[in-house]
Amino acid sequence: MKKTFTLLALFFVFFKVSAQSPCTVDSSIFPKGTNFGIYPDSLNAPANYPYSQVMQFKFPKDSTYSGFPVVIDSVKIDSVKNLP
């Protein structure tokens, strides 16, 4: 019984710790009706200093592909380039 409880407790602690923090959207960057994109569009970090930057992405809910309407339900970032 103790092993089961310990295993269950560790399971919940692991998933609680690995959960993402909530996202707070800054609506002043992309007001309603504006173009889609990434903010900021470039990053300028000094070398050899700690750096932190919040990026915001705005994607359309739908689009067209080869003349057909397509609903966008998720976006995946495959890679980030030019990192040290």
Q: For 17-49, what is each residue's pLDDT tens digit?
A: 554 566 676 777 766 666 777 888 778 888 888
Strands (E), the chain: 37-39, 56-58, 62-65, 68-71
The token pair that represents 6 in the structure block: 């310990």
Alpha helices in the chain (DSSP H): 2-17
At residue 19, what are phi and psi to the nearest 5 degrees?
A: -70, 150
Which tens digits make up the pLDDT trace of 50-78? 888 888 888 888 888 899 999 988 888 88
**pTM given for the model:** 0.48
